[in-house]
C-alpha cells in the first residue's frame, strides 16, 4: 500500500478547489480501488480537491491514470502514473529479503560489524592455512576395524576364521587337544600387516589354570596362524574364548 498525492493549480499558480479526480486502472475504463489510509479504509472514487487544490489516496502498487474534470479545469487525463509500494527495512530488528549486501570487515576485525560470507570464507581459509599441512585422516574401514568384533569357529579347532578388526574375540569350536600337543588355525584379518604384532590370550573356557599356551605366528599381510598348545598332562576338549589385539608395527 502506498500514498499518492498532488496539487492542481491553474497556469497562474492558483490552487483549484472542487476539481474531480477519478482514478482509473491504467489503460482501462475501470475505476481503481483506492483508500483513505494505509489500513485500507475505502474512499469514494472520484475524489475532489480541497480548498488548497490538494488531493491524495492510497492504492496498491501499480499503474494508474487520473481523469480531471470540473472545478475550472478543462477535462484532462494524466496517464500512466506509477504508484510504488516501497517497503523499507525497520531500524529495529529489520527483516531483509532478496540479496542485501554489507561491507566486508577485515579478517582481524573483532567489532560488532556484520560478518558476510566473504569475511567467513576468508577467515576459514586463514585458519586452514595456519593449521597442520599434513592432517591425519582415518577411513571408515579403519574406524570400523577399531571397534572390535566377535567370530565363532566352525567344525573344529583347525578351521580358519575371519574377523577384520584390530581387536576381537574368537570362540573356538570343540575339539580335543592331547597332552603336550598343539593345534593351529588361520585367522584371516585384513587389518594385519607383516610387521605387526598380534597379541592373543585365553579369556575364558579353560577348566583349570595354566592349561593352555596361545600365540600367533606366521604373521603376513591379512592373516596369521593361531596356535593353541596343551600344557597339561591330559587331553582337553573345551570351547575357548580367545581375545586378540593387533598392535601396529614397523621396521626401520
pLDDT single digits (tens) 119-151: 888 888 887 666 555 556 667 666 666 678 999
Cell numbers for 66, please give them.
Answer: 487520473
61 and 144, same domain (yes or no): no
Domain assignment present for residue 96? The answer is: no
pLDDT digits (tens, 9 = 90+) for 195-248: 999 999 999 999 999 999 999 999 999 999 999 999 999 999 999 999 999 998
CATH code, domain carrying 184: 2.60.40
Q: Which range of residues forms the domain containing residue 59?
A: 2-83
Q: How far apart are CA 147 and CA 186, in angstroms?
A: 21
155 and 63, same domain (yes or no): no
170 and 235, same domain (yes or no): yes
Q: How far apart are CA 157 and CA 176, in angstroms?
A: 8
148 and 225, same domain (yes or no): yes
> Which of 83, 114, 130 is the last residue before a domain boundary?
83
What pTM value is reported for the model?
0.46
CATH code, domain carrying 23: 2.60.40.10
Domain assignment present for residue 211? The answer is: yes
pLDDT digits (tens, 9 = 90+) for 60-111: 888 999 999 998 888 999 988 888 766 555 667 777 778 888 899 998 888 9
Domain assignment present for residue 94? The answer is: no
Domain assignment present for residue 100? The answer is: no
Domain assignment present for residue 135? The answer is: no
Q: Which long-range contacts (CB under 8 A, 24 or more apart) does 13-18 make?
A: 15/49, 15/51, 15/52, 15/53, 15/54, 16/49, 16/53, 16/71, 16/72, 16/73, 17/49, 17/50, 17/51, 17/52, 17/53, 17/71, 18/48, 18/49, 18/70, 18/71, 18/72
Task: Say how many domains are in the chain.
Answer: 2
Domain assignment present for residue 88? The answer is: no
CB 49 within 8 A of CB 18: yes
144 and 75, same domain (yes or no): no
Mean pLDDT (the chain, rounded): 89
Domain assignment present for residue 129? The answer is: no
145 and 239, same domain (yes or no): yes
Domain assignment present for residue 170? The answer is: yes
Amino acid at each position: 500500500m502506498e500514498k499518492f498525492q498532488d496539487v492542481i493549480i491553474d497556469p497562474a499558480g492558483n490552487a483549484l478547489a472542487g476539481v474531480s479526480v477519478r482514478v482509473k486502472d491504467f489503460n482501462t475504463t475501470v475505476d481503481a480501488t483506492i483508500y483513505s489510509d494505509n489500513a485500507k479504509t475505502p474512499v469514494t472514487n472520484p475524489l475532489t480537491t480541497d480548498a488548497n487544490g490538494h488531493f491524495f489516496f492510497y492504492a496498491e502498487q501499480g499503474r494508474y491514470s487520473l481523469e480531471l474534470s470540473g472545478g475550472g479545469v478543462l477535462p484532462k487525463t494524466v496517464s500512466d502514473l506509477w504508484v510504488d509500494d516501497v517497503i523499507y527495512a525497520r531500524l529495529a530488528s529489520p527483516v531483509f529479503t532478496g540479496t542485501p549486501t554489507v561491507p566486508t570487515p577485515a579478517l582481524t576485525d573483532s567489532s560488532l560489524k556484520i560478518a558476510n560470507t566473504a569475511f567467513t570464507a576468508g577467515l576459514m581459509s586463514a585458519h586452514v592455512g595456519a593449521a597442520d599441512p599434513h592432517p591425519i585422516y582415518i577411513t571408515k574401514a579403519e574406524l570400523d576395524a577399531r571397534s572390535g568384533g566377535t567370530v565363532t569357529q566352525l567344525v573344529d579347532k583347525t578351521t580358519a576364521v575371519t574377523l577384520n578388526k584390530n581387536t576381537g574375540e574368537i570362540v573356538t569350536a570343540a575339539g580335543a587337544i592331547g597332552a603336550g600337543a598343539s593345534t593351529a588355525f588361520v585367522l584371516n584379518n585384513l587389518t594385519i600387516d607383516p610387521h605387526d604384532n598380534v597379541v592373543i590370550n585365553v579369556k575364558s573356557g579353560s577348566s583349570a589354570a595354566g592349561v593352555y599356551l596361545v600365540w600367533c605366528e606366521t604373521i603376513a599381510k591379512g592373516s596369521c596362524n593361531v596356535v593353541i598348545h596343551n600344557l597339561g598332562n591330559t587331553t582337553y576338549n573345551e570351547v575357548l574364548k580367545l581375545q586378540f589385539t593387533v598392535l601396529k608395527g614397523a621396521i626401520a
